[in-house]
Amino acid sequence: MNQGLSRRGFLQMVGAFGGSAAVYQAALGMGLLPAVAHASRPDIAPLTGKRRKKVVILGAGIAGLTAAYELRQKGYDVQIIEASHRAGGRNLTLRGGDLIDECGYPQTCRFDRDPDLYFNAGPARIPGHHSALLGYCKELGVPLAPFINDNRSALVQDDAMFGGRPIRNREYITDTRGFIAELLAKSLKPEQLSAQFTGADYTRLLEYVRQFGELDARFTYTGSGRAGFARHDYTGPETLKQPLPIAELMKSRFMYLMSFGELDDQSAMMMEPVGGMDRIVAGFMAKVGDCVRTHAQVETVRLTGNGVEVVFRHKGERTLLTADYCLNSIPLQLLAGIEHNFPAEYADGFTAVQRGKLFKIGLQMKERFWEREGIYGGISWTMQDITQLWYPAHGIHRQKGVILGAYTFDDETGEKFSRLAPAQRIELAIQQGEKLHPGYRSYVESGVTIPWHRMNHMLGCSARWDDSVRAQWFKRLQAPLGTHYLIGDQLSYHSGWQEGAIHSAFHAIADIDRREREQAARVVAA
Amino acid sequence: MRQLTRARQLLLATAAFIATAVSADNVDLSYCTVCHGAHGNGNPAIRAPKISAMEPWYLRRQLEAFRDGVRGTHPDDAAGQEMQPVGIRLRDEAAIDAAIAYVSSFTPKAPPITVTGDSARGRALYATCASCHGPKGEGNQTLGAPALADRSDWYLVTQLRNYKAGLRGSDHRDTAGAQMRALAATLPDPQAIDDVVAYINTLRESR
pLDDT digit string (tens) for A111-150? 999 999 999 999 999 999 999 999 999 999 999 999 999 9
A319 at B interface, C-beta within 8 A = no
**What is the rounded distance in angstroms from the CA atom of residue A334 to the CA atom of residue A260?**
32
B26 at A interface, C-beta within 8 A = yes
What pLDDT does residue A49 have?
77
- A 399-418: CB under 8 A from B: 415-416, 418
A106, A337, A418 member nearest B26 (Cβ): A106
A442 at B interface, C-beta within 8 A = no
pLDDT band at A74 (very low <50, low <70, confident <90, very high): very high
The residue-averaged pLDDT of A309-331 equals: 96
A355 at B interface, C-beta within 8 A = yes
pLDDT band at A39 (very low <50, low <70, confident <90, very high): confident
Most confident of A14-23, B84-93, B154-163: B154-163
What pLDDT does residue A191 have?
78
**What is the rounded distance in angstroms from the CA atom of residue A99 to the CA atom of residue A88?**
14
The residue-averaged pLDDT of A245-250 equals: 97
The residue-averaged pLDDT of A330-351 equals: 97
B13, B26, B43 member nearest A336 (Cβ): B43
What pLDDT does residue A235 have?
95
Tell me which residue of A248, A271, A238 sits closest to A148, measured CA to CA: A271
A447 at B interface, C-beta within 8 A = yes
H helix or E strand, kind and range, residue A120: strand A119-120
Phi, psi torsion values for A334, nearest 5 degrees: -90, -35
CB contact under 8 A, B85 and A421: yes
A9: pLDDT strictly greater than 60: no
pLDDT band at B5 (very low <50, low <70, confident <90, very high): very low
- Tell me how close the Cα of B186 comes to any Cα of chain A, in angstroms: 31
% of chain A at pLDDT higher than 70: 93
What pLDDT does residue A190 have?
81
Please report residues of A whose CB lies closer than 8 A to that of B42: 337
Residues A406-448 have pLDDT tens digits of 999 999 999 999 999 999 999 999 999 999 999 999 999 999 9
Tell me which residue of A48, A85, A89, A50 sits closest to A68, measured CA to CA: A89
Mean pLDDT (chain A, rounded): 93
- Tell me how close the Cα of A41 comes to any Cα of chain B, in angstroms: 33
- A 452-491: CB under 8 A from B: 454, 456-457, 459
HSE-CB at B164 with a 13 A cutoff on CA atoms is 16
Question: What's the burial of A335, exposed, middle or buried (CB within 10 Å: 0-12/13-18/19+)?
Answer: buried
What pLDDT does residue B63 have?
96
- What SS3 class is residue B84? helix
A424, A449, A456 member nearest B34 (Cβ): A456
Q: Provide the ipTM.
A: 0.86
Do the Cβ atoms of A508 and A327 come closer than 8 Å? yes
The residue-averaged pLDDT of B42-51 equals: 96
- What SS3 class is residue A67? helix
Most B CBs within 10 Å: which of A99, A385, A424, as the mutation test of the B interface?
Answer: A424
What pLDDT does residue B27 have?
53
The sheet carrying A107-108 orders its strands as A99-100, A107-108, B20-21
The residue-averaged pLDDT of A166-170 equals: 98
Do the Cβ atoms of A452 and A348 come closer than 8 Å? no
Angle at B59 between CA B57 and CA B64, to 5 degrees: 95
Residues A483-505 have pLDDT tens digits of 999 999 999 999 999 999 999 99
The residue-averaged pLDDT of B170-191 equals: 95
A2: pLDDT strictly greater than 50: no
What pLDDT does residue B168 have?
97
> Which residues, including other chains, have CB under 8 Å from residue A17's CB and lie 6 or more apart?
none
Residue A442 CA from chain centroid, whole number: 31
B207: pLDDT strictly greater than 70: no
pLDDT band at A331 (very low <50, low <70, confident <90, very high): very high
To the nearest 5 percent, what fractions of chain A are helix, strand and coil? Answer: 40, 20, 40
Tell me which residue of A267, A237, A255, A253 sits closest to A179, measured CA to CA: A255
Number of other CB atoms surrounding residue A305 within 10 Å:
5
B19, B20, B82 member nearest A454 (Cβ): B82
CB contact under 8 A, A107 and B20: yes
- Tell me how close the Cα of B17 comes to any Cα of chain A, in angstroms: 5
A317 at B interface, C-beta within 8 A = no
**What is the rounded distance in angstroms from the CA atom of residue A435 to the CA atom of residue A493?**
37
HSE-CB at B41 with a 13 A cutoff on CA atoms is 17
The count of CB pairs under 8 A between chains A and B is 144
A16: pLDDT strictly greater than 80: no
Please report residues of A whose CB lies closer than 8 A to that of B38: 298-300, 337-339
% of chain A at pLDDT higher than 90: 86
Lowest mean pLDDT among A47-56, A125-134, A151-160: A47-56
Residue A269 CA from chain centroid, whole number: 14
What pLDDT does residue B16 have?
41
A108, A415, A423 member nearest B22 (Cβ): A108
> Which residues, including other chains, have CB under 8 Å from residue A278's CB and lie 6 or more apart?
A88, A91, A92, A93
The residue-averaged pLDDT of A358-369 equals: 98
pLDDT band at B18 (very low <50, low <70, confident <90, very high): low
